[in-house]
Structure 1
Amino acid sequence: MSSSRRLTTVGFDADDTLWQNERFFRITERHFAELLSDHADHDHLSERLLEAEKRNLRLYGFGVKGFTLSMIETAIEVTEGRVPARTIELILQAGRDMLSHPVETLPGVRETLERIAGTHTILLITKGDLFDQERKLAQSGLGELFDGVEIVSDKTRTTYERIFAQHGDGAARAMMVGNSLKSDVVPAIDAGGWGVHVPHELTWVLEHVEPPTEHPRFLAIDHLGELSAIVEAIG
């Protein structure tokens, strides 16, 4: 890569940036609500589940396994400990189904990655369960395009500082692209890089923060196909 470039490294989020993810959580949550419909209405159950997820993030981390355990915990709570074993079995099956669901890449992903990979170092930077993220990357067929893959427990300023120093020329010459303002955009900008927000129709409520619209290194695009022009413009 040219040492004269302002931008040499581009990091990409995975879930809901390169392939569908939140959609399957929403489908499973609706199924969960149906299973517990005799004990709580959908909205109340969703609130209780979200509370459990918040409590459990520090213990279970992000991903399907933590979500499944939070569903079981919520089922026990709303039934006051009387949840049938069959319901627990169905919740566990729903979690297994999520962990084996085929990967659905989003439009324009491969073309964009191939174009940018020709001129820049590109990285996959994702958080969640190690086995599940490795499975999705393998099934996506995109793995050979990346110069590096980092599956992390969380995405913070120090996460990006470390990764962009290790795989590139530092955060100041790096960009992070993703659908989450909280995880992909804001901490990458705090580390000194560019942050590009690619909105997805479904984004987990815990990933919502205000966009740093006044920051000169904040960028927003409607879809990933617009990214190549931005990378080229930065130079």
Structure 2
Amino acid sequence: MSTGRSKISITTIAFDADDTLWQNEQFFRLTEQRFADLLRDYTDAPDLNDRLIAAVTKNLSFYGFGMKGFTLSMVETALEVTDHRVPGTVIAEILAAGRELLNYPIETLPYVDQTLTQLQDNYRLILVTKGDVFDQERKLAASGLAEYFAAVEIVSDKNEATYRRIYERHTDGADRTVMVGNSLRSDIVPALAAGSYAVYIPHDLTWSYEHADEPAAQPRYAKTDHIGQLEATIAKFGTID
């Protein structure tokens, strides 16, 4: 007698990159501190970091995600909080601090290499990352992980339409795909809206912009402590009605 339930057949796993496969946010935090140090003699604004993050968020629609927009937002904030009195030498150092974001080493997170090695035998793996194309391509090359992925999508933003397009292009359908990432706002909520499964792997330094309410009641959603638990977590999706 049929129970009305069927076995899930996941064929594709899509991965976020920054702070899912390798460290990223920690270097922006270091740059924020460098920015504050550079301006210490020119402003006593108690909310300097908040004003910087507000500028970064405001400028997303102009510059997108990544180090270029962050650097321009640092310059804008420095000018605003000092009433344009900040010396040109300090602006030059701010620009240098932004460029330094391109020089930090790429550090893969624990269990990443082992997990991708295991998963590639049974799943099609794709990378879905947002930000500056040059920077994301650089980080992927430096990570040594490119060979694992059948496709790489570098997008300006992640929303439901983005995921629908990617699923149509690279997968057997949303209902046979899992999206994995550390951002509820960008990796989980819109992927679920597009019809796929999603696994949330929290990162201690996830940017506040990427926060959202956890969709805990969603049957296609799961949360795990680290990427090493991913295969077992996907298996727990079990059956669906």
TM-score, length basis structure 2 = 0.93
RMSD: 1.3
1:171 aligns with 2:165: no
Residue 142 of structure 1: aligned partner: 145
Counterpart secondary structure, 2:203: coil
Q: Percent identity over the alignment?
A: 56
Measure how far apart 1:43 and its partner are: 4.7
CA–CA separation in structure 1 for the residues paired with 2:159 and 2:20: 18
Task: Measure how far apart 1:114 and its partner are.
Answer: 1.2
1:219–1:77: structure 2 CA closer, same or farther, 3 Å change rule? same
Letter in 2 for 1:223: H
Match of 1:127 in 2: 130
In the alignment, what sits opposite 1:115?
118
1:147-173 deviations in Å (ceiling 9; x for gaps): 100000000011111111111111111
Q: Which has the higher helix share?
A: 1
- Give the structure 2 partner of residue 183 of structure 1: 186
- 1:134-190 Cα shifts (integer Å, max 9, x gaps): 000001000001010000000001111111111111111111000000000000000
Q: Distance in 2 between matches of 1:11 and 1:124?
A: 6
SS class of match (1:155): coil
Rounded to whole Å, the distance in 1 between the matches of 2:204 and 2:164 is: 29
Unaligned runs of 5+ in 2: 1-6
Q: Does 1:60 align with 2:82?
A: no
The answer to whether the aligner puts 1:161 opposite 2:164 as a matched pair is: yes
The alpha-carbon deviation at position 232 of structure 1 amounts to 3.6
**C-alpha offsets along residues 13-50 of structure 1, whole Å, 9 cap, x if unaligned?**
00000000000000000010111113444751111111
Contact 1:125 1:152 in 2 (8 A): yes
The whole-number CA distance in structure 1 between the counterparts of 2:170 and 2:191 is 15
1:20 maps to 23
Q: 1:232 to 1:115 in 2, by over 3 A?
A: farther
Aligned residue in 2 for 1:220: 223
Question: Unaligned stretches of 5+ in structure 1?
Answer: none
Does the 8 Å CA contact 1:33/1:42 hold for their aligned counterparts?
Answer: no
Give 1:201's match in structure 2, choosing from 183, 199, 204: 204
Match for 1:228: what amino acid?
E
- 2:180 match: secondary structure: strand
The code of the aligned residue for 1:131 comes to F
The number of equivalent residue pairs is 232
Q: Is the 8 A contact 1:185 1:197 kept in 2?
A: yes
How far 1:218 moved relative to its partner? 1.0
Match among 38, 41, 46 for residue 41 of structure 2: 38
Is 2:14–2:179's contact at 8 Å kept on the other side of the alignment? yes
Change (3 A) 1:219 1:5: closer
Give the structure with higher Rg (CA): 2
CA positional deviation for 1:112: 0.7
Question: Structure 1 residues 189 and 27 mapped into 2: Cα distance closer, same or farther (>3 Å)?
Answer: same
Partner of 2:99: 96
